[in-house]
A and B are shown apart, each in its own frame.
Chain A
């Protein structure tokens, strides 16, 4: 299992690449809705991409109230 830091790094890389935001502008504790400028439908798209990338299932209800990259990475880590 990769370390949380590695998982977090992969989350940030994927989000930056897909939503075309410079990677250096994303920080672990950023609100991804604001930093990426995405709505709830785009957040679902991000979730699906992360599931494919990490080869996991992550029910959306586990992300209720989650809006920062670090917590998102922690939820993913718990499924690896």
Chain B
């Protein structure tokens, strides 16, 4: 299936690049339905790759690339469940999303995240699986998980550690602060900055450039420079689940979900 228009995701091949578009309102929160479509996409990749040299991830939502995990769904689903059952559900979700993320990470194509606006939590982690991040000027990145008693759970920490210096990782993770695209480029996270609304166009130009190269050479180079930290990714799931079992997390999620103020509950 080389073309798909789903509830939350669409994909097609444009000039030799697979374009995966996210379009769930309000800002592509990743819950179980989004995960199912991501799994469909991962399943379609072997066929899609036959006609493509690159993959571009982008968002059609004005607010941003992706606001991360659907915390409302996470909280609501766990309510009324025994703790052990809720924990099994969380672990299953994490293992499934890791499977998708790892599949994209390991693709023998050049992968590009074209991001804008809110690129938080799981959305940031989705961008981090790509080889290159191209960000529009108004992009804002953040790992806010510690502010709710958790750590990033979709592979963010091992991939940050792979890509950036440890002092930077500590800063971003332990403060949970958001940062703009200038900072993101300064620390080596963002490859190119695009004007507002132009990230996808710049990503397409980059995809066109890498399409001139021999695919086997690109695949060999990528395999050489981009190891996938499988062991740390597994450890991340374990640590996340240990933390999720703590009472403080449920309370943090409750306050986040039930907050009706103009600012999100993020202490």
A19 beta carbon closer than 8 Å to chain B: no
Asked if A71 is at the interface of the complex by the 8 Å CB criterion, the answer is no
Residues of chain B within 8 A (CB-CB) of A45 are 117, 138
CB-nearest residue of chain B relative to A59? B177
Chain A CB within 8 A of B182 CB: yes
Hey, what's the 0/1 contact readout for B188-204 against A, CB within 8 Å counting as 1? 00000000000000000
Contact between chains at B176 and A61 (CB < 8 Å) = yes
In the complex, the answer to whether A61 meets B177 with C-beta atoms within 8 Å is yes
Smallest CB gap from B181: residue in A = A48
Chain B window 128-141, contacts with chain A (Cβ cutoff 8 Å), 1 for yes, 0 for no: 00000000011110
Interchain CB contact under 8 A, B63 and A59? no
> Of residues A33, A44, A47, A61, which shows the largest number of chain B Cβ atoms within 10 Å of its Cβ?
A44
- Is the beta-carbon distance between A64 and B118 smaller than 8 angstroms? no
Instruction: Give complex CA distance A65, B262 in Å.
Output: 10
Q: Establish whether residues B179 and A57, one from each chain, have CB atoms under 8 Å apart when the complex forms.
A: yes
Q: Do A64 and B263 touch (CB < 8 A)?
A: yes
Interface size on A, residues (CB 8 A): 20
A44 shortest CB reach to chain B, Å: 6
Within the assembled complex, what's the spacing in Å between the Cα atoms of A61 and B67? 17
Query: Least Cβ distance of B263 to chain A in Å?
Result: 6
Report Cα–Cα, A52/B227, bound state, in Å. 35
Closest B residue to A32 by beta carbon equals B262
Task: Say whether A77 faces chain B, with CB atoms less than 8 Å apart.
Answer: no
Nearest residue in B to A31 (C-beta to C-beta)? B262
Q: Confirm or deny: A10 has a beta carbon within 8 angstroms of a beta carbon on chain B.
A: no
**A49 contacts B by Cβ under 8 Å:** yes
Bound form: Cα–Cα A41–B64 in Å: 9
Q: Is the CB of A57 within 8 A of B262?
A: no
Secondary structure at chain A's binding surface: helix, strand, loop or mixed?
Answer: helix
Task: Give the residue of B67, B180, B262, B263 whose beta carbon is less than 8 angstroms from that of A51.
Answer: B180
Within 8 A of B (CB), among A41-68: 41, 43-45, 47-49, 51-52, 57, 59-61, 63-65, 67
Establish whether residues A39 and B178, one from each chain, have CB atoms under 8 Å apart when the complex forms: no
- B263 & A40 in contact (Cβ 8 Å cutoff): yes
Q: Which residues of chain A are near B139, meaning CB under 8 Å? A: 48
Measured CB to CB, the closest approach of chain A to B265, in angstroms, equals: 10
Assess whether B175 is interfacial by the CB under 8 Å rule.
yes
| Cβ–Cβ contact B180 & A59, under 8 A | no
Interface string of B90-114 (1 = CB under 8 A from A): 0000000000000000000000000
Q: Which residues of B contact A60 (CB under 8 A)?
A: 142, 177-178, 266
| Chain A positions within 8 Å of B142 at CB level | 60
From B26, B64, B67, B178, A59 is in contact (CB under 8 Å) with B178
A43 to B64, CA, bound (A): 13
B183 CB-CB contact with A under 8 Å = yes
- Chain B residues whose CB sits within 8 angstroms of the CB of A33 once the complex forms: 262
Q: Which residues of A contact B69 (CB under 8 A)?
A: none
In the assembled complex, 7 residue pairs joining A and B whose CB atoms fall closer than 8 Å, in A order, are: A40-B264, A44-B118, A44-B140, A51-B182, A52-B182, A60-B266, A67-B262
The 8 residue pairs across chains A and B that have the minimum distance between CB atoms? A59-B177, A33-B262, A41-B63, A60-B178, A51-B180, A48-B140, A40-B264, A48-B180
Chain A residues within 8 Å of B, Cβ to Cβ: 33, 39-41, 43-45, 47-49, 51-52, 57, 59-61, 63-65, 67
